[in-house]
Amino acid sequence: MHEIIASLQNVGVYYKQRFSLKRRKSNAYWALQDVNLEIRHGEAIGIRGHNGAGKSTLLRVLAGIVSPNKGVAKIAEGCRSGLLTLQSGFNPYLNGADNAILKGLYMGVTKEYIQSKMTDIIELSGLGQKFYEHTGTYSSGMAARLGFAVNYFCMPDLLLIDETLGVGDREFKQKSKLLIRELIRSDKTVVIVSHEEDALVSLTNKIYTLDKGVLVAD
């Protein structure tokens, strides 16, 4: 058996609605209730659920972004967990290189590491000289390609994927989809949340269903 790299015990998370004098009832909304989950190194876990079932909150707890209001969330010492965020976070007034460094630093790797990966990032994103121009001049496809390339080279130990498997134009969508699938099939530890039933079945070893904040194993 591989070592446990993340575990959730009776985890509950609530969001508070804004304080109102008119509302008398409790203003807490539980997005997750008594969730128990153990993730071992190398596992690929799939989670299905409707919109608003608490999938994104679950990933945020695993990424260490929010703390549970109830129960215990543990992530192994030295394990970097992170959401695969492809579309976001670029400043339009900075060039691709500066944006790549900033994003990598936010993802927890060193500046020196990202700088050493610049050629690979340019190659994978296929941006060429455009990489040194402001990202504000990029098309949304170009920005997605840069986002994917930075994510790919700064990959966390516990990879959390929310819905999208491919980004960019048709050709790049295929390429990124293949790369993600390859990552999932390798010994990466992955938690993937998706509506695509087929994708979950073919890519993961365990599938859970999340319904109104309650997690059930299939």
Instruction: Using CB under 8 A, list all residues that contact another protein.
Output: 13, 15-16, 60, 63-67, 78, 80, 82-83, 85, 88-89, 91, 93-94, 98, 101-102, 105-113, 116-117, 120, 123-124, 152-155, 179, 182-183, 186, 188
Q: How far is the CB of 218 from another protein (least distance, A)?
A: 27
Distance (Å, rounded) from C-alpha 89 to C-alpha 105? Answer: 12
Between 66 and 214, CB nearer to another protein: 66
Which residue number, 38 or 187, has a Cβ lying nearer to another protein? 187
The per-residue b/e assignment along 84-117, b for 16 or more CB within 10 angstroms, e otherwise, is: bbbeeebeeeebbbebbbbbbeebebeeeebeeb
Q: By C-beta, is 88 or 129 nearer to another protein?
A: 88
Compare residues 70 and 209 and give the one whose CB is closer to another protein: 70
Q: Is 6 exposed, middle or buried (0-12, 13-18, 19+ CB in 10 A)?
A: buried
Burial class (CB in 10 A: 0-12, 13-18, 19+), 128: exposed
Burial degree of 196 (CB within 10 A; 0-12, 13-18, 19+): middle
- Shortest distance in whole angstroms from residue 198 CB to another protein: 22
Closest distance to another protein from the beta carbon of 72 (Å): 13
Q: How far is the CB of 55 from another protein (least distance, A)?
A: 13
- What's the min distance (Å) between Cβ of 137 and another protein? 13
Q: How many CB atoms lie within 10 A of CB 205?
A: 10
* CA nearest to 84, candidates 19, 179, 14: 179
Residue reference for tokens 């128990």:
36
Least separation, in Å, of the C-beta of 211 and another protein? Answer: 21
- For another protein, the closer of residues 2 and 111 by Cβ is 111
Give me the least distance between CB of 186 and another protein, in Å please.
4
Rg (CA), the chain: 19
**Three-state secondary structure of 39-80:** EECCCEEEEECCCCCCHHHHHHHHCCCCCCCEEEEEECCCCC
Nearer to another protein, 98 or 209 (CB): 98
Whichever of 10 and 17 has its CB closer to another protein, that residue is 17
